[in-house]
């Protein structure tokens, strides 16, 4: 029986091919095994973001709290019941400097003022645009007015650059050094709230 030549090119190619197949199989098996866990974690994270938009941050049992206070509406919005009062939650989607932005903004029953907000991003600059995820920025929106003469006026502006006709009740200051990300948040808020004006009006009059 001929001795196997482990120094030959054929042996190297066959050995490498077998190892690649084995590793690919193991990775596919692990990914498939963990898919349900990964999906559950993504769903739980989304629930946590929605809860944050009604100022319920750092909740220990996200699933239980979500089931207690959040109802999912057919139009893609959500209704939260907080201390006996209803809030309408509007999903937000937009674009930042380096990638997608998203979040949620909750509206009081008056249909005119913000109750809470949550924002997130895929790849904004650390220490600059990425600061939109921080509580101090998000809570600046609490109590801000949304509509002016029927149009969405709520926005984010660089300090001193807000329209002269707009009072500070309608906007928050942009994150310092993150003009483009802040502009993205501004555009996202105004576009998504405008698209959901009918939902807000229906919620107000319900």
pLDDT digits (tens, 9 = 90+) for 188-202: 999 999 999 999 999
Asked if residue 37 is part of any domain, the answer here is no
Is residue 8 assigned to a domain?
no
Least confident interval from 40-49, 79-88, 103-112, 141-150: 40-49
Tens-digit pLDDT profile for residues 95-116:
998 999 999 999 999 999 999 9
The DSSP result for the chain, as a single string, is -PPP-TTSHHHHHHHHHHHHHHHHHHHHHHHHHHHHHHHHHHHHHHHHHHHHTTT--S-SSHHHHHHHHEEE-TTS-EEEEETTEEEEEEEEEEE-SSSEEEEEEEE-TTSSBEEEEEEEESSPPTTTGGGGGSHHHHGGGTT-B-EETTEE--EEE-TT-S-TT--GGGEEEPPTT-HHHHHHHHHHHHHHHHHTHHHHHHHHH-
Q: How far apart are CA 8 and CA 161, in angstroms?
A: 71
Query: Is 17 within a domain?
Result: no
Look up residue 20 and give its two tokens: 């690649």
| Structural domain includes residue 104 | yes
pLDDT in the model for residue 3 = 60
Q: How far is CA 203 from CA 79, 182, 200, in A?
A: 9, 28, 5
Q: How many CA atoms lie within 13 A of 70 on its CB side?
A: 24
Give the residue carrying structure tokens 């866990």. Answer: 37
| Tokens read off for 175 | 């994150």
Residue located via tokens 């107000």: 204
**pLDDT of amino acid 18:** 80
| pTM, rounded to two decimals | 0.80
Question: Where does the pLDDT of residue 164 fall: very low under 50, low under 70, confident under 90, or very high at 90 and above?
Answer: confident
Question: What is the pLDDT at residue 206?
Answer: 83
pLDDT value of residue 36: 67
Residue 33 within a domain = no
Evaluate whether 107 touches 197 at the Cβ level (below 8 Å): no
At 148, list the tokens. Answer: 């002016």
Q: Are 201 and 111 a contacting pair, CB within 8 Å? A: yes
Evaluate whether residue 133 is within a structural domain: yes
Report the domain count for the chain: 1
Token pair of 169 as six digits: 């009740």
Answer yes or no: is 172 within a domain.
Answer: yes
Residue predicted with more confidence, 97 or 71: 71
Domain range holding 60?
50-205
Q: Per-residue confidence at 17, pLDDT binned at 50, 70, 90?
A: confident
Average pLDDT on 150-164 reads 90
Residues 142, 115: contact at Cβ < 8 Å? yes
């Amino acid at each position: 029986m001929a001795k196997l030549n482990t120094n030959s090119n054929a042996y190297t190619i066959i050995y490498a091919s077998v190892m690649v197949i084995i590793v690919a199989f193991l990775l596919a098996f692990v990914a498939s095994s963990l898919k349900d866990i990964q999906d559950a974690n993504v769903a739980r994270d989304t629930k946590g973001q929605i809860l944050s938009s009604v100022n319920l941050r750092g909740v220990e049992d996200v699933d239980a709290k979500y089931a207690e206070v959040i109802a999912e509406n057919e139009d893609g919005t959500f209704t939260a019941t907080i201390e006996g009062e209803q809030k309408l939650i509007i999903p937000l989607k937009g674009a930042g400097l380096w990638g997608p932005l998203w979040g949620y903004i909750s509206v009081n029953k008056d249909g005119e003022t913000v109750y809470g907000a949550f924002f997130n991003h895929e790849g904004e600059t650390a220490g600059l645009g990425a600061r939109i995820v921080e509580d101090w920025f998000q809570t600046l929106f609490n109590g801000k007015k949304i509509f002016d003469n029927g149009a969405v006026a709520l926005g984010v502006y660089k300090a001193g650059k807000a329209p002269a006709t707009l009072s500070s009740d309608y906007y928050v200051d942009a994150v310092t050094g993150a003009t483009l990300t802040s502009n993205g948040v501004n555009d996202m808020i105004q576009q998504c709230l405008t698209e959901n004006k009918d939902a807000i009006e229906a919620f107000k009059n319900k």
